[in-house]
Amino acid sequence: MHNPDADPATATQHVLFEVRGPVATITLNRPERRHALSMAANERLHGLWQTIDADASIRAVVLTSTDC
């Protein structure tokens, strides 16, 4: 049986990422689960923090969520 929470493509939908100028925004997008992080989403979030850390042009990070 396939577990959709383990799918990296699903994690991309559940953890959104955008950079505008010096500000990166990470948006948790899983309101039906109160934004709980699956293992794949947690791995994506970890990867995003590494991406942000490696980019000296990013000066601030906003962590937000879609409505619950």
CATH of the domain at 16: 3.30.300.220
pLDDT of residue 10: 77
pLDDT recorded at residue 2: 47
Q: CA 17 to CA 59: how far, in whole Å?
A: 15
What pLDDT was estimated at residue 26? Answer: 98
Supply angle C-alpha 40, 19, 68, rounded to 5: 55
Q: Which residues contact 59 (CB under 8 A, 6 or more apart)?
A: 22, 23
Number of domains in the chain: 1
Predicted local confidence at residue 3, as pLDDT: 55
Return per-residue pLDDT of the chain as tens, 68 residues.
Answer: 445 556 667 788 999 999 999 999 999 999 888 889 999 999 999 999 999 999 999 999 999 999 85
DSSP H stretches of helix in 1-68: 8-14, 39-54
Range of the structural domain that residue 34 is part of: 4-65
pLDDT of res. 1: 46
